[in-house]
Amino acid sequence: MKLLPLTTFLSIIATVAAHVPAGGHAADVILNLKNDPHGIKHVGADGIARSYDVRGRVIDSARLTRSQLLAVAKSASSEDERKHLQGLWANVDPSKVDEAELWEPPQHVLPTRFVNPEQHAKKMVDAGIVASVAKAQYDAKKKLQTRFDWCEDVKCGDSWFCELFFLCGPCVELVEGVGHCMPLH
């Protein structure tokens, strides 16, 4: 009985701490979100990083700061993608996102795979993700021999793909429809 108040207090502290904007690097915040191996992590138009399970339910979330959003945009794989993300997040204030929306985001911030599965499937095919895993593994191994930041070049659809085949972090979708493996630090 004496442990009940302490346990309750600690769980409240843990819950509050989990939803306070994290200081650190955006990559660390995203990597530390809970992960479903068949799900995906996504930074929405509202500036919230969310981890989704395979069915599209939010299993974890974090409010990113302005500097973290700029860092995510800066790490984009192309100049067009970088400009798109900078424009998308130019006037976003994640601190104003309602607590309920962290767990049940509106349609316009959901990843494409949950809003329009047909469009997502087409983008996956167009991006070559559904194509040969063997070729992707070969290319990744070849890049690994010359540099260590090759994870971001691997396009993905699920976190398990990145983690199992390329020894990278989770799959993170920034631009609608196409994810990229996240490097481990």
Determine the pLDDT at residue 35.
Answer: 92
Q: Which residue has the higher pLDDT, 165 or 132?
A: 165
Cα separation of 40 and 154, whole Å?
Answer: 14
Residue 148, domain extent: 3-181
Half-sphere exposure of 67 (CA within 13 A, CB side): 5
Q: Which residue has the higher pLDDT, 157 or 132?
A: 157
What percent of the chain clears pLDDT 70, i.e. is strictly above it? 71
What dihedral angle (degrees, nearest 10) is formed by the CA atoms of 135, 148, 22, 13?
Answer: 80
pLDDT greater than 90 at residue 23 = no
What tokens appear for 179 in the block? 């994810």
What per-residue string of b and e applies to 91-109 under the rule 16 or more CB within 10 Å gives b?
A: ebebeebeeebbeebeeeb
Determine the pLDDT at residue 118.
Answer: 76
Determine the pLDDT at residue 76.
Answer: 82
Cα separation of 84 and 88, whole Å?
Answer: 6
Domains contained in the chain, number: 1
Half-sphere exposure of 93 (CA within 13 A, CB side): 3
